[in-house]
Chain A
């Protein structure tokens, strides 16, 4: 995560995402697979690092070897042929996206960190229970602890989605994407970016089904529109 100053001098926290060599590896169809989706691969991998079944999967499609594969359900009219490159220009600055990733693992954590429990006072006679859960239920009725009671346990390393993330900047030359705010996971983890569900983008403006690059493209960075009027001078 970093932060930048936008053109009006406001500081925006940013996460930089790297769309590293995304290609369509497999197209899933209703007849053969039961659903309509695109399997997209990212990254690079050496042949010796892959198992034979994995190697065969890439060889059958005739695509470069990828580090990570992910499936994205799409509508039938948005299917792309195998081997199509999906670049960062699929998205546009100013658009909202949903980003899914595996969160940072925190290990075995107590109730205060995991569920936000308040704990007990540090002094005034509290004995041996400053960070404990406290009570777990009633007495003879119900006579048990309900299932799903929030307790200490493993925290993190689960798949989560951050919604309505605003794209600030796109750099097509280096396949970089600047988004505002945090993204689940550590540096170097793979995340899945989709168009936002609740702030749906305007499909007429976005490239559909994806952005097909041509040789005479302008590869300078694109920054989101921040308006012409200074937001700090309007009162």
Chain B
């Protein structure tokens, strides 16, 4: 019985929002004590975005008190705190309205459920994960904004070489933005030979990036330095 209740409550998650929103009066006694409840409920079809569409703040706080049918329903809700208000008020209305209301509007699509193409949703998820990875990397250490034309000095730890820290210097000739795999290319003349090195900007093996000089360039990619005199690539 408990699982059936849980299943019913989860059906109501999607399909009962229409009842709550259509009734509009909200005279349906919504016995909540919630801080953000009233302005959101009183607005008309306010679409609540899923967690991957925006940086979702939890809609309710932990001090909410709800009168629910069973404890299993409460558990189902508390599992996903990021889920939107629609799930919350849906189960509340299910708790208050009797079972016959469940069958009344079963075929009506819920007003706030968007079933977009999955390729779109997963794209949003990946972008969000990438952004979080970049933010996490920025928190660990300060990564300066290196641009082409900067002369930088790197302290790179090479794990394969018994974790020795090597100091590398050069002029940044390219920067490719790709979220957490943003890479930049460094060029330098070493013993008369031009050497180019590519590094991921957010790699944990780059211990320090120091900008020594900023040369004035009028390009985003300085590949022309490969054909120029050696003096321009030595730093």
| A contact set with B: CB distance below 8 Å | 2-5, 8-11, 16, 18, 23, 43-49, 55, 59, 61-65, 67, 81-85, 87, 173-174, 176, 186-189, 213-215, 217, 219, 230, 232-233, 235
Chain A residues with CB under 8 Å of B225's CB are none
**A5 to B11, Cβ gap below 8 A?**
no
CB-defined interface of B91-127 with A at 8 Å, one 1/0 digit per residue? 0000000000000001111100101011111110110
- Asked if B133 and A16 make an inter-chain contact with CB atoms under 8 angstroms apart, the answer reads no
Q: How many residues of B contact A (CB 8 A)?
A: 49
- Known interface pairs A2-B180, A173-B80. Does A188 touch B159 (Cβ–Cβ under 8 Å)? no
In the complex, whether B208 has a CB less than 8 A from a CB of chain A is no
- B204 at the A/B interface (Cβ < 8 Å)? yes
Q: Does B160 interact with chain A (Cβ within 8 Å)?
A: yes
Q: Chain A contact residues: over half helix, strand or loop, or mixed?
A: loop
**22 A-B contact pairs sorted by A residue (CB < 8 Å):** A5-B203, A8-B159, A11-B203, A43-B118, A46-B109, A48-B107, A63-B11, A64-B10, A64-B11, A64-B14, A65-B14, A67-B118, A81-B3, A82-B7, A83-B3, A176-B125, A187-B126, A188-B122, A215-B74, A215-B75, A219-B79, A232-B160
Return chain A residues, CB-CB under 8 Å to B126.
Answer: 2, 16, 187
| A85→B125 CA distance, assembly (Å) | 22
Interface pair A188/B163, CB less than 8 Å apart: no
A-B contact count (CB 8 A): 109
B125 touches A18 (CB 8 A): yes
Q: Are B115 and A67 in contact (CB-based, < 8 A)?
A: yes
CB pair A59–B106 under 8 Å, yes or no, is: yes
- Report the bound CA distance from A16 to B124 in whole Å: 13
A3–B6 Cα distance when bound, in Å, is: 38
State A2–B108 Cα separation when bound (angstroms): 39
Taken together as a complex, chains A and B put the C-alpha atoms of A46 and B78 apart, in Å, by: 24
| Across-interface contacts of A47 in B (CB, < 8 A) | 15, 106-109
CB of B139 within 8 A of chain A? Answer: no
For A4, the chain B residues whose CB sits under 8 A away are 133
CB closest residue in chain B, given A175: B80
